[in-house]
């Protein structure tokens, strides 16, 4: 959530930054409502001050010997009652204005950082670097897509998953399930070794948690809701892990906080029908290892680069070709001030596809979730900066392995980094 004080004090700066995202985001209504709310607050404060004065006057009159029923005292009491009535009328108006302002603030995205490239859509994202061109498989144009490979090997099963659930679900069979488990363990081991503390959070989360990280209210249609409870299926471990610290004031000595978490993730993928309808790229349920950081504001840019490197390390260990893309303002996620996407090479489509998104949210999520920290020698508190990144999406990693490691005889080699986690080095037809 944006800082209302900054909106009020630097309206042109805030509006110009929002315009880099889209002209649809406007702050004038917030400014108008905030001005009305502040006028009401000022009027209410004056009335309360006068009410306190009257209470003292009544006490003084009675102490001087006047009867509480005297005309003078009754006249003052009448003024007091009128003031209380005015206050009672103002308070709900003020509450209503605050609610309207809060709802409008919740609908605004984060401000892009000054270093985020300006652009209208994904076509204007900026490539930062590539890695692993030497690992590109030969004769890529003749290679099969991962869903065909998986079905031929008997490790991916889509038709029965439709029977059990609906489309965009998958059954992992035999070595498919084993490879998934191996990837989860490998990724967690790597990130724990890099300094992250593992968390296994709830995957049913409440509305306040989704609001805290920015999924609600704007993206309610993207998530699965449990209608009989205030609970939702988690779309990403970012939500429960960040909200572990909601409404807390941390000691500065606790920062930085690094967490990694494996969870199943659930997304409706609303608005994406017709895209990636086959295979593992866009499922309603998928597994992911997530990286989450809570850091001091002055460290967040440095920590952002580090979290990207932590995600890259997985792809490099698996020897999967990828590139790093810096997202432009028009393609930036709702809560991010700056974001890098890691895109892995999929030979069947002759294209790089997103496998990790690493975002710096600055204080945007911390304001929504009220996560602050206090330094020993300073008065007051500050909002932490939050960051997260996929480390990585498991299904997309499996898709990349199947396609990049497929062999002419139909088998798939298992990356060397996973050999300690599996009892075999090649996946053959079962």
pLDDT in tens, 267-319: 998 665 566 778 999 999 999 999 999 999 999 999 999 999 999 999 999 99
Residue where a domain stops, chosen among 107, 130, 160: 107
Residue 2 resides in a domain: no
Tell me, yes or no, whether 96 and 224 share the same domain. no
Residue 135 falls within a domain, yes or no? yes
Of 372, 347, 391, 367, give the one whose Cα is nearest residue 145.
Answer: 347
- The domain boundary, picked from 76, 107, 138, lies at 107
Given a contact cutoff of 8 angstroms between Cβ atoms, the answer to whether 412 and 402 are in contact is: yes
Of the candidates 74, 107, 140, which is a domain's last residue? 107
With the C-alpha atoms ordered 266, 272, 278, 280, is the resulting torsion angle positive or negative?
negative
What's the pLDDT score for residue 270?
67
Let me know if residue 90 belongs to a domain: yes
Residues 232 and 89 in one domain: no
Shared domain for 87 and 226, answered yes or no, is no
Residue 256: asked if its preceding bond is cis (omega within 30°), the reply is yes
Same domain assignment for residues 130 and 278? yes
| Residues with Cβ within 8 Å of residue 9, at least 6 apart in sequence | none
The answer to whether residue 19 is domain-embedded is no
Q: Please state the domain count of the chain.
A: 2
- SS3 at position 383: strand
Q: Give residue 344's domain range.
A: 122-427
199 and 234, same domain (yes or no): yes
Residues 245, 153: one domain?
yes
- E strand residue ranges, 141-248: 156-157, 171-172, 197-198, 204-205, 225-226, 231-233
CB 403 within 8 A of CB 149: yes
Spatial separation of the C-alpha atoms in residues 338 and 81, rounded to whole Å: 55
**Together in a domain, 84 and 227:** no
What sign does the CA torsion over 389, 394, 398, 401 have? positive
- State residue 56's pLDDT score: 83
Which of the following is catalytic: 50, 246, 282, 296? 282
Given 168, 267, 367, 368, the catalytic residue:
267
Say yes or no: 72 and 147 in one domain. Answer: no
Would you say the C-alpha torsion 156, 158, 160, 166 has a positive or negative sign?
Answer: positive
DSSP strands (E only) in 155-276: 156-157, 171-172, 197-198, 204-205, 225-226, 231-233, 249-251, 257-266
Annotated catalytic residue, options 94, 124, 148, 354: 354
Active-site residue identified among 326, 348, 396, 403: 396
Helix (H) or strand (E) holding 385: strand 385-393
Pairwise CA distance, residues 403 & 149, whole Å? 8
**Nearest residue to 116 (alpha-carbon basis) of 18, 6, 24, 215:** 18
267 included as an active-site residue: yes
pTM score? 0.92
Has residue 112 been placed in a domain? no
**Do 367 and 245 reside in the same domain of the chain?**
yes
Q: Are residues 88 and 155 in the same domain?
A: no
DSSP 3-state assignment of 97?
A: helix
Measured CA to CA, the distance from residue 303 to residue 205 in angstroms comes to 27
Q: Are residues 272 and 182 in the same domain?
A: yes
Q: Is residue 116 part of a domain?
A: no
The answer to whether residue 282 is catalytic is yes
* Of residues 236, 256, 235, the one with CA closest to residue 245: 256
Distances in Å between the Cα of 291 and the Cα atoms of 129, 237, 390 are 21, 8, 6
Handedness of CA 237, 243, 244, 245 (dihedral sign): positive
Domain identity same for 82 and 209: no
Encode 18-28: b = buried (16+ Cβ within 10 Å), e = exposed: bebbeeebebe
Residue 354 annotated to the active site: yes
The active-site residue, picked from 348, 357, 359, 390, is 357
Sign of the alpha-carbon dihedral angle for 341, 234, 203, 303: positive
Low-confidence ranges of the chain (pLDDT < 70): 73, 140-141, 270-275
Task: Decide if 18 is inside a domain.
Answer: no
Asked if 357 is an active-site residue, the reply is yes
154: domain CATH number is: 3.30.930.10
Position 13 in a domain: no
Task: Please list the residues that pair with 346 across neighbouring strands.
Answer: 351
CA atoms within 13 A on the CB side of 21: 20
88: helix, coil or strand?
helix
């Amino acid at each position: 959530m944006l800082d209302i004080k900054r909106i009020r004090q630097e309206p042109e700066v805030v509006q110009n930054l929002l315009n880099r995202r889209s002209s649809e985001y406007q702050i004038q209504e917030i400014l108008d409502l905030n001005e009305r709310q502040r006028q009401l607050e000022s009027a209410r404060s004056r009335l309360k001050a006068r009410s306190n004065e009257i209470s003292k006057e009544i006490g003084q009159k009675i102490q001087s010997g006047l009867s509480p029923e005297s005309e003078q005292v009754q006249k003052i009491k009448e003024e007091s009652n009128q003031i209380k009535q005015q206050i009672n009328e103002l308070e709900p108006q003020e509450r209503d204005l605050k609610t309207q302002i809060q709802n409008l603030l919740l609908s605004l995205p984060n401000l892009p950082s000054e270093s985020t490239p300006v652009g209208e859509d994904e076509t204007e994202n900026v490539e930062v670097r590539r890695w692993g061109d030497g690992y590109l498989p030969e004769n890529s144009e003749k290679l099969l897509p991962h869903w065909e490979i998986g079905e031929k090997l008997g490790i991916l099963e889509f038709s029965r998953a439709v029977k059990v659930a609906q489309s965009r679900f998958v059954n992992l069979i035999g070595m498919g399930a084993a490879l998934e488990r191996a990837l989860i363990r490998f990724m967690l081991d790597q990130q724990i070794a890099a300094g992250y503390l593992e968390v296994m959070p709830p995957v049913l989360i409440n509305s306040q948690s989704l609001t805290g990280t920015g999924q609600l209210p704007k993206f309610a249609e993207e998530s699965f809701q449990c209608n009989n409870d205030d609970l939702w299926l988690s779309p990403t471990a970012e939500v429960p892990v960040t909200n572990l610290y909601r409404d807390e004031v941390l000691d500065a000595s606790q920062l930085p906080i690094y967490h990694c978490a494996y969870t199943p993730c659930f997304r409706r993928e609303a608005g994406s029908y017709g895209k990636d309808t086959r295979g593992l790229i866009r499922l309603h349920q998928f597994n992911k290892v997530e990286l989450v950081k809570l850091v001091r504001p002055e460290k967040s840019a440095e920590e952002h680069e580090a979290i990207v490197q932590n995600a890259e390390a997985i792809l490099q260990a698996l020897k999967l070709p990828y590139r790093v893309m810096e997202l432009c303002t028009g393609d930036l996620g709702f809560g991010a001030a700056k974001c890098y996407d890691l895109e892995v090479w999929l030979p069947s489509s002759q294209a790089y596809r997103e496998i990790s998104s690493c975002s710096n949210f600055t204080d945007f999520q911390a304001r929504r979730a009220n996560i602050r920290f206090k330094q020993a020698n300073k008065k007051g508190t500050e909002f932490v900066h939050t960051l997260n990144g996929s480390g990585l999406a498991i299904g997309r990693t499996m898709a990349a392995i199947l396609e990049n490691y497929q062999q002419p005889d139909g088998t798939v080699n298992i990356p060397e980094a996973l050999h300690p986690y599996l009892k075999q080095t090649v996946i053959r037809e079962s």
